Structure 1
Amino acid sequence: MTDLSLTSSAREPLSQQAAFARALLDPLFPVEQLAVRTPAIASADNSLAQRFAVHRNNVVAGLVNGLQDSFPATVRLLGEEFFRAVATEYVRAFPPQSPVLSEYGGTLANFLPQLTSLQTYPYVADVAQLEWLRRRAYHSADQSVLSLTAIRKMPIQQLLFQRFSLHPSVHWLRSDYPVVSLWRSQMGEGVVPEPEHWHAETALIWRPGHSVQVAVITPTRLTLLEQLQSGAVLADAMAAIGAPIAVVSQHFSALAQAGVLCAGDLPVGADSPPSFPDFSNPTIQTS
């Protein structure tokens, strides 16, 4: 049997790579250790630390630039200079785990509340999380949505005992702050609400086509989404809400028309349910 275990010499490049990666993000790392590990570096002139600092700065700056592009509203809330300082600390504390730059930054919203200077601005983390969910929605898988016209053509028995899945891009974010209003204000789509008028908002993020959508979602619609995501048939989801069937049908039709729903598994059969009302007045954002 062939021995697949690595020899000491085969393992050595990995330790060199680990040391090099650490040195790229840690300004206090003694780069002289790299010279000991790498003879080619050791034979160079004495300007090793200065030359390596240039490379380190380029790597950190590139990652910070990527974060700045990914979180534009957060940049505007904090100011570019302060955001870049925060992002630099984040890069050094949480380096990328993937070579795909678009996948970097998922824990920034969790990092921000740890900073003493931001503890009096907790809403910034929620805005950052909303921006990250927008990024995830943008890069989510494509899938055909279930149109409202197709739903209306379903027999009543099938409709009420149908399972509906959510589009892969669908995310939501509960916030104690007006997270959608704050995000929109920083993206030029509104004004910052006065603090005395602040109230909690739940953001719905999804991509029905090529453009990511963000909207405030009501508690009833959020419950409906959670029920459908858990695998409940429509009849059970409606019963869990406890609102009149006409009211729930309007919420359901709004989600369908917005491109949030996909067809799930078909039911195996059920008793004849009561008549299902026609859908009307679809709208996502309500007060």
Structure 2
Amino acid sequence: MIRAVAIVLALLAGTAAAQELDGSVRPNARAVPEAPALVIRPIARGSQDAGPVIRPVARPAPRPDLAHGARTRAINRAEQGLFAFSPYALATSMRPVRRTAAIEAAAEERRLARLRGQVCGDVAIQGQSIGRVDGAGACGIDQAVRVRSVAGITLTPQATMDCRTAAALKRWVERGAIPAVGGEGGGVAGLRVVSHYACRNRNNATSGRLSEHAKGRAIDIAGIRLRSGREITVLTDWGTARDGGRLRQMWRAACGPFGTVLGPEANRFHRDHFHFDTARYRSGPYCR
């Protein structure tokens, strides 16, 4: 009995399989469930069995060479969204033409001439070392120099002094005379010197104390010559609206580099010039 039932079931199963293959399965026929397919699940990152993690790399955006951008139409340029070349701009920047050998040789010669002409160990002080200058009595200068220019400003005539006075004169020219004049008349070109080394007493008196001029420590300046050829003079311009302020600025700037500074308001002997000397006083500079 049991064997007969098994045979019937086997026949029925074979018939159902055949009908499924040729599409003749009846609607009310029961389908035999299929075996579940293999499911592949992702392995969590960091798992020991996962192996090395390969991450995608961003591809670089293709960008033409910017060197060619200036020569293309604006719509095709690589720098879109960053900046734009003018269609009239030069493709390459202009560079100065190299100086000729003759120009460089002339410049080098001027540089060497300045080095040869420097005195007091300062290339900004040009002149000649003349050594010991003897004078009557206590007059005289040790290691004197004859200065023709300071900071590019010419002295007329050349002035004889010691190096401390020459250095003070250079500081005054740079910090006093040049800034006070500024661009007026093209700027300062020269100084008119009315006294430098001279073996004499103060104020040219027949008696009394020796002047600082007698020791090479003083210089008197009466005028400031401009590049335009005009001259600002202490005598005629001290009280003027045009140049009086400049002269007073120069006078104030000298008080410090020099120990004694005298101008038109000091006394009648200095009505027409500035007197600068490098005397030292315990109380500080004497400026009138």
Regarding TM over 0.5, the answer is no
Bigger proportion of residues as helix: 1
- TM-score scaled by structure 1? 0.24
Q: Which has the higher contact order (CA 8 A, sep 6+)?
A: 1
User: Of Structure 1 and Structure 2, which has the larger fraction of its residues in strand?
Assistant: 2
